[in-house]
């Protein structure tokens, strides 16, 4: 099935539901009813599935606020909601001038209810789970997915199971999942090992998988793209030239590309108005960058990954078959950055009053690196996506920030200290 930007909208097949929604394999084109059975990949070839609509959305159909403003582009009118979405598109004037681009905005997804973009996917995914009548939800996680799933599972009155790589998840994220009453299993392995196990559990009917392998998760996440386009156009009368985003499992890259394809299909967006999707990974976990830079059609799984940006410490991005066309067909690129460059970018954002966890800052680190190399030009209008809140990883924030200064319990001593 073509993932070209120019691919036209399709007529609803016989398996589509009453709202003309269906699932379709991106590899072989096989089509399935959306809610008759539980499936995550194609029955025939095991390829990734996408949710398809006979009538792609137009900007005129959007009304309200948050994720469900975009229900014309989603499978339901409303989901299990806290609510989510409607996150700020910050200005960062000093950072813009320092990096040297025409316009720079920061889309801060850390302002969602549980502190990350994952809430957008869960409001749709947990609603689908209710439609399917499943009882237990499950995910593998580097932290943010588990926090979001636990919160939305609790909101929906459903049991939640999360598998985490032991010793590799920030304390703030584990605390969230724990407080929302998730059952937490710490696996002696990395994230990719956790995902292997949870996929096996799902295949055996033990739980409903809500990692981004689930195509409905990405439907919620594509609303990030709609929000960026609308807000940027309202402020500048034009769409951004480029969106730079961190890449872990490549779900957001896939989701934003899908949002843009649907707007092109509906005639709301011209192909030459689609922003260039540019992915950023940490050097110690950069299989997508390797594939893009080497021109490979597939991503090679990295068995050993390491970075302080725990949210993107992933060696086998499951959404790569959707994300690689998104980067290439929009004229984007991908770049790897060091942990030190990520920490510097985290400090730079904090200097603008924008607090993010390390993985989020990878987007700004990548923008700076691509600007310095000349791959991004000075006349570009850029949006950097930051995916998680500062307090998701308080230890990393403390390490990146200034140390407290001890002073005596005396006003004059404090004044003397300040003047030293």
Per the annotation, binding residues for pyridoxal 5'-phosphate are 144, 248-252, 387
Four-point Cα dihedral 297, 144, 37, 28, nearest 10? -10
State how far the Cα of 38 lies from the Cα of 51, in Å rounded to an integer.
Answer: 14
State how far the Cα of 393 lies from the Cα of 366, in Å rounded to an integer.
Answer: 20
State how far the Cα of 172 lies from the Cα of 100, in Å rounded to an integer.
Answer: 34
Beta strands in 181-333 (DSSP E): 183-187, 208-209, 242-246, 276-282
Per the annotation, binding residues are: 144, 248-252, 387
Structure tokens at 280: 């950023």
> Angle of helix 171-179 relative to helix 144-155, nearest 10 degrees?
10
Instruction: Calculate the alpha carbon distances from 319 to 13, 142, 185, 316 in Å.
Output: 25, 16, 24, 9
State how far the Cα of 275 lies from the Cα of 361, in Å rounded to an integer.
Answer: 20
State how far the Cα of 175 lies from the Cα of 190, in Å rounded to an integer.
Answer: 19
* Contact indicator for 270, 330 with CB cutoff of 8 Å: no
Largest CA distance in the chain: 81
At residue 129's C-alpha, the angle toward residues 128 and 135, to 5°, is 170
State how far the Cα of 181 lies from the Cα of 160, in Å rounded to an integer.
Answer: 8
* Contact indicator for 375, 382 with CB cutoff of 8 Å: no
DSSP string computed for 148-204 = HHHHHHHHTT-EEEEEEETT-S-HHHHHHHHHTT-EEEEESS-HHHHHHHHHHHHHT
- Rg of the chain over all Cα atoms, to the nearest angstrom: 21
State how far the Cα of 332 lies from the Cα of 110, in Å rounded to an integer.
Answer: 24
Helix (H) or strand (E) run with residue 337 in it = strand 334-337
What is the dihedral sign for C-alpha 402, 404, 406, 410?
positive
Phi and psi (nearest 5°) for 209?
Answer: -75, 130
């Amino acid at each position: 099935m073509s993932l070209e930007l120019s691919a036209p909208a399709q007529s609803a097949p016989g398996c589509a539901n009453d709202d003309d929604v269906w699932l379709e394999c991106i590899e072989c084109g096989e089509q399935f009813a959306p809610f008759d059975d539980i499936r995550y990949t194609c029955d025939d070839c095991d390829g990734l599935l996408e949710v398809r609509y006979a009538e792609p959305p137009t900007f005129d159909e959007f009304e309200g606020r948050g994720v469900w403003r975009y229900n014309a582009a989603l499978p339901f009118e409303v989901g299990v909601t806290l609510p989510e979405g409607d996150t700020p598109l910050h200005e960062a004037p000093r950072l813009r001038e320092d990096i040297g681009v025409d316009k720079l905005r920061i889309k801060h997804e850390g302002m969602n209810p549980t502190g990350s973009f994952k809430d957008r996917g869960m409001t749709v995914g947990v609603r689908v789970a209710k439609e399917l009548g499943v009882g237990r939800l499950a995910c593998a996680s580097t932290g943010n997915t588990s926090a979001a799933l636990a919160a939305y599972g609790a909101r929906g009155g459903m049991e939640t199971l999360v598998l985490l790589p032991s010793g590799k998840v920030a304390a703030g994220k584990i605390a969230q999942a724990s407080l929302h009453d998730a059952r937490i299993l710490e696996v002696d392995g990395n994230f990719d090992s956790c995902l292997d196990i949870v996929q096996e559990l799902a295949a055996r009917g033990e739980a409903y998988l809500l990692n981004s392998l689930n195509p409905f998760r990405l439907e919620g996440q594509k609303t990030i793209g709609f929000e960026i386009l609308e807000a940027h156009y309202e402020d500048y009368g034009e769409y951004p030239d480029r969106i730079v985003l961190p890449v872990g499992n490549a779900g957001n890259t896939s989701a934003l590309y899908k949002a843009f394809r649907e707007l092109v299909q509906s005639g709301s967006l011209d192909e030459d108005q689609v922003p260039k999707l540019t992915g950023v990974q940490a050097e110690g976990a950069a299989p997508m960058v390797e594939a893009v830079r080497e021109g490979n059609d597939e991503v090679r799984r990295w068995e050993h990954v390491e970075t302080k940006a725990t949210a993107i410490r992933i060696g086998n991005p499951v959404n790569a078959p959707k994300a690689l066309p998104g980067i290439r067909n929009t004229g984007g690129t991908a770049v790897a950055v060091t942990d030190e460059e990520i920490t510097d970018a985290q400090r730079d954002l904090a200097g603008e009053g924008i607090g993010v966890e390390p993985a989020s800052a990878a987007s700004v680190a990548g923008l700076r690196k691509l600007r310095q190399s000349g791959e991004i030009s000075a006349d570009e209008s850029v949006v950097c996506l930051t995916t998680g809140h500062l307090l998701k990883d308080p230890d990393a924030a403390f390490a990146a920030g200034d140390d407290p200064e001890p002073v005596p319990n005396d006003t004059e001593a404090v004044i003397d200290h300040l003047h030293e």
